[in-house]
Structure 1
């Protein structure tokens, strides 16, 4: 352990954490690398709470973490609401620090080096992600939806196991929209918290009378699987051209590369999830059955 005399110190439940450096910044929070008194490192997410609503949402994020003890969902080490004199209060979440980075980091590394994942490794990673999503969709007393599934929100631990993080967009899965004001509110929230390239079509334009449910995650998973295979979102070319992403999503305006090295089964699985009508998308259990079948086929070829 180094000298902590000049480090910012944050005490939570009798434990002291020393801020080492800034790891990243987002629209609603920052993440610092911290170290406890034993020298163990963690990632500390610091959520600034400018209003009571911000505080409620941050507390809810911490509570969502506490609902789970799952290999593929990031655990919460500690959390606390911090109030200061003359400064905006913040909720801090102490989380594991994964040196392997995110799946997005892995995608960018592969693209830079002109490499690709083997289909077997890709499907094993995707299965782990689906395991985490299934835990959310099976949550009690009410199923939950992540709503921002993307490679940048999946960490890789030391063994290469995928771990879903960032519960800030998470919500009760099934929401009944009754009227235009509720629709606009959800649409605005989605625009703020759900990444465009992975956002389900029903969140681009929320109908005045509809039901939004966990199928938003299934669409996002389709985008994630495509990205792991082809190292970009299925709608990245449209976005790069500056064309309407919303129209591209509604029209399922994507295609598989002609020189794809992956099986027809993987292509079919992506296509089955990228269905515009939510009711026609499969459940996470159906997706996992298909993943297991694909993995079995791959192992039988070895």
Structure 2
């Protein structure tokens, strides 16, 4: 957490915010906890630094997705503004500011981290409750008209939690049209590079590590990521986090299709089968979101019958 000795002030469309602390930062963006100077309410402000026209287009597209996606389990955009030249000259930069709700509980990643210290496993009923709401948000994106969308970076760190522990999907910077027609090696390399930049490695679908020259990549990249999220909700980390932390090849581990489960586990074989259902390395055989939701509901009903 960063501490600011002098009180930095940020203006977004004439609303004055006092920066309280740094919540996170990436390559070209930062997220600060801010306080509205008048109402004293806290928000998160995402600040993206743009070094080119292309950077600007990506940032402004993210704002458009925030405005387009209206779902109780997808983060809402409170306000936004653009500062700087719309026509970037050499060595000049511009900035995009987004005001977002602040969730004091943090992310699902934080929540799982706090439970992992003493191997305090979540109950399967809590896992299914949270996961059902995440699936609801993903279904909404996948079935959006006129063009379906994929999140492309689903992971526990991109799910905020409300005070009532309801999940909220955030970070729409990686969102893209769900279906991508790849026509040739140039298209394939472009998509592969984009995935390397925007999709977190331990949650990235196998078809995005080695994009084929002639293929269609669709919304089922998100289903793979959901499988990794579900696994993490059971065992605190993605099935590929350990590989990543060791410095071994995540790409090889992902494309091998081999998923290892801990020998000692509080979760049933049915739970593992649901995870494997989503983690099908073949993108054409992987289920769609409605298939996943149906399996989750079946598992819920079977567990209720046992009680």
With the shorter chain as reference, the TM-score category is: over 0.9
- CA distance in structure 1 between the partners assigned to 2:169 and 2:196 by the alignment: 21
2:47 maps to 46
Distance 1:32 1:242, change over 3 A: closer
In the alignment, is the contact (CA less than 8 A) between 1:7 and 1:19 conserved in 2? yes
- CA distance in structure 2 between the partners assigned to 1:89 and 1:115 by the alignment: 45
In the alignment, is the contact (CA less than 8 A) between 2:12 and 2:97 conserved in 1? no
In the alignment, is the contact (CA less than 8 A) between 2:51 and 2:92 conserved in 1? no
Write out per-residue CA displacement over residues 211-257 of structure 1, whole angstroms, 9 at most, x where no aligned residue: 11100000000011011101121123333443322121111122112
Distance 1:139 1:50, change over 3 A: same
Q: 2:153 aligned with 1:148, yes or no?
A: yes
- Partner of 2:152: helix, strand, or coil? coil
Q: Which of 170, 185, 188 is the equivalent residue of 1:183?
A: 188
Unpaired runs of 5+ residues, structure 2, are: 1-5
Q: How does 1:230-249 map to 2 (within 5 A)?
A: 230-249=235-254
Q: 2:63 aligned with 1:68, yes or no?
A: no
1:269 maps to 274
- Partner of 2:154: helix, strand, or coil? coil
2:29 maps to 29
- CA distance in structure 1 between the partners assigned to 2:303 and 2:105 by the alignment: 26
TM superposition score normalised by structure 1: 0.94
Q: 2:230 aligned with 1:229, yes or no?
A: no
- Partner of 1:211: helix, strand, or coil? strand
Shift in Å at residue 192 of structure 1? 1.0
In the alignment, is the contact (CA less than 8 A) between 1:124 and 1:295 conserved in 2? no
- CA distance in structure 2 between the partners assigned to 1:266 and 1:109 by the alignment: 22
In the alignment, is the contact (CA less than 8 A) between 2:45 and 2:100 conserved in 1? yes
- Partner of 1:125: helix, strand, or coil? helix
- CA distance in structure 1 between the partners assigned to 2:304 and 2:72 by the alignment: 23
1:17 maps to 17
2:219 maps to 214
- C-alpha RMSD over aligned residues: 1.6
- CA distance in structure 2 between the partners assigned to 1:137 and 1:270 by the alignment: 20
How many pairs align? Answer: 297
In the alignment, is the contact (CA less than 8 A) between 1:31 and 1:45 conserved in 2? yes
1:166 maps to 171
- CA distance in structure 1 between the partners assigned to 2:296 and 2:222 by the alignment: 16
Write out per-residue CA displacement over residues 44-95 of structure 1, whole angstroms, 9 at most, x where no aligned residue: 0001110000100000001101112211100000011112799621111110
Shift in Å at residue 8 of structure 1? 3.1
Unpaired runs of 5+ residues, structure 1, are: 1-5
